[in-house]
Amino acid sequence: MTLSLMVQGTASDVGKSVLVAGFCRIFTQDGYRCTPFKSQNMALNSGITADGKEMGRAQIFQAEAAGLAPDVRMNPILLKPTSDRKAQVVVMGKAMCSMNAVEYHEYKPQLRQQILLAYHGLAAETDIMVLEGAGSPAEINLRERDIVNMGMAELVDTPVILVADIDRGGVFAAIYGTLALLKPEEKARIKGVIINKFRGDVSLLQSGIEQIEALTQVPILGVLPWLDLDLEDEDSVALQVGKYDQPEPKTEACLDIAVIQYPHIANFTDFNALAAQPDVYLRYVSSASELQGADLILLPGSKNTLGDLAWLKTQGIDQAIIAARQKKVPIIGICGGYQMLGKQIVDGVESGLTQMAGLGLLDTETEFASEKQTAQIRGVVAPALSGMLKSCGGQPIEGYEIHMGTTRLGQQVTPFARIHLRNGEEKIEFDGAVTQDGLVMGSYLHGLFDQNTFTRPLLNQLRIRKGRVPLENVAFDYRRHKEKQFNRLAASMREHLDIARIYQLMREHKS
C-alpha cells in the first residue's frame, strides 16, 4: 500500500523543493522506497535522464536524495519560459510546443491523464510518494483547472503539508490568508504547517504558534531554522532574491569567477560545483563594471539566446567581455553562452529575431533548428589543447546537452572535447570550440564542472596565472559533497519537525 505526502507552499521559493528532498532522504534512510513527484514544473534549470529526456533539476536532485536515478515520470510537465508571455511546453521529456499563459491554462485539462499515468506508474514501484506543489494553492484565479496544487492532491487523494517562509516576513498572515482562501474540503487536506527559514530563538514564536493554531485549527509541525545548504535551486528566483550573493571572498587568495546573469539565464546550477570548491569566490554579475577583477568570466546557458545577446549589447557588457579578452582574461561559454561567443547566430526559432552578430571571440557560427537535442554525454577533453586548458587535455568528462542549435567551427578554433557516448550509445563526435591560445572556450555540456578531473586542473592554471601556488591533492567530489548536504538537511528536519506525526498523518489518511 503506497503512502503519499504533498508539500505545498504559501508562495514560491519558500523551500518546498528542498523539503521534498529532505523527506525523500529521511524516508529512504528509514528503509522505505521513496519517489519524488511534481506534476508541473516551471523552471529554466533542467537536466537529462539516461534515455535522453528532459526534466526539472529540482526533481533530479530530489531523486538523488532518494537514491534513485532520475525518471521523467517524476516531472511529466515542464514549462520553460522563453519570454515574459510564452513558455515551451515539455511533456514527458519531449518539447511539444510553445504557448502563452491563456493557451496553456485552457490546455491543462488535456494533460491530466498523462500526469495520472506517470504518477500511478511510479506509485506502483514505491512505498512513499512525496509530491511537490507549485507557487501557492491560494492562487484562486487558477484553481479551476489546477493540476499541480490542490487539483493534483484531489486527483490522487493525498494529505498536504503547508510550508511558510518566515524569513520574508509576515509568516502568520501568509499561513492564515492561504488557509482562508481555500475551500473547506481543500483546507481539510492540510494536516499541518511547517514554518521554514527561521533565524533566532524559537521560544519567541511560541505565542504566535498557539494563536495561529487556534485560529486555523491546523497544527504547526515544527519550525525549521535557516540552513546554509548547498543544494540546487529550482529556478532563477534564488538569484533574484540574492541567495547566491557572496559579499566577501572566502580568502584573499580565492579565484574571482564572474557569471553573467542575463534575463533568461538557464541552468545556472552548472556552476554550483565551482562555487563549492575551496578556493573559488563565484559571483553573478549584470553590469559591465562588475567584470573588473575577474580571473574567469562565464557565460551560462539561455532560453532566449538572441534576446540575451541583445541585452548584453544594450548593457555594454559585450564590450567589457571583449576588453577582458584583450587583457587575456579567460572566458568560457556553456550552451547559449557558447553560441554567443561565436561570430553569428541565425535563429527564427527561440525569438522573433532572425540573426545577430555574436561577440566574435570564437570562430564559430550557430544556426538554430526546431528540434531540440537532449542527451547524456561522456567523452574526454581534446588532448592537444594549449594554454590554460593544456593540463585538462585527455581528462574524462561527462554532462548533458539541451540545445536547439548546430554550431560550425572555423579554422581558428579546435574542438574542446571528443564524445564517445551519447545516451549510452557509442559515438564518435566532437563538442565545443577553443581558441589557439586556450583562453576562450565554448561547450554544449551542462554539468561540465561537476568533474574534479577537469575542474581542478583548470582552477590550478588560473591560480598559476594569478601568481598562486596550485592546490595539490584536492580530491573534491561534488557528488559526495551533495550527499553531505542531503544528510545535513535530513538531520535538521528530524531534529526540528515531528517526523513521527508526519508518518502517522500519512497512514491515517490512507486508512
- The residues annotated with a catalytic role in the active site are 335, 446
| CB 39, CB 147: distance < 8 Å | yes
What's the per-residue H, E or C state across 45-98?
CEEECCCCCEEEHHHHHHHHHCCCCCCHHHCCEEEEECCCCEEEEEECCEEEEE
For 153, 171, 362, the CA distances from 12, given in Å and listed in that order, are 18, 13, 39
Q: Greatest CA span in the chain, whole angstroms? A: 73
Query: Taking the alpha carbons of 225, 230, 233, 238 in that order, is the dihedral positive or negative?
Result: positive
Residue 342 DSSP code:
S
Is residue 41 a contact partner of residue 166, using CB atoms and an 8 Å limit?
A: no
Cell 538569484 appears where? 239
Residues 6 or more apart in contact with residue 84 via CB below 8 angstroms: none
At residue 463, the 3 state secondary structure works out as: helix
First to last CA, the chain: 10
Q: CA 481, 424, 398 angle in degrees (round to 5)?
A: 35
Answer yes or no: are the C-beta atoms of 179 and 190 closer than 8 Å. yes
φ and ψ at residue 100, rounded to 5 degrees: -85, 175
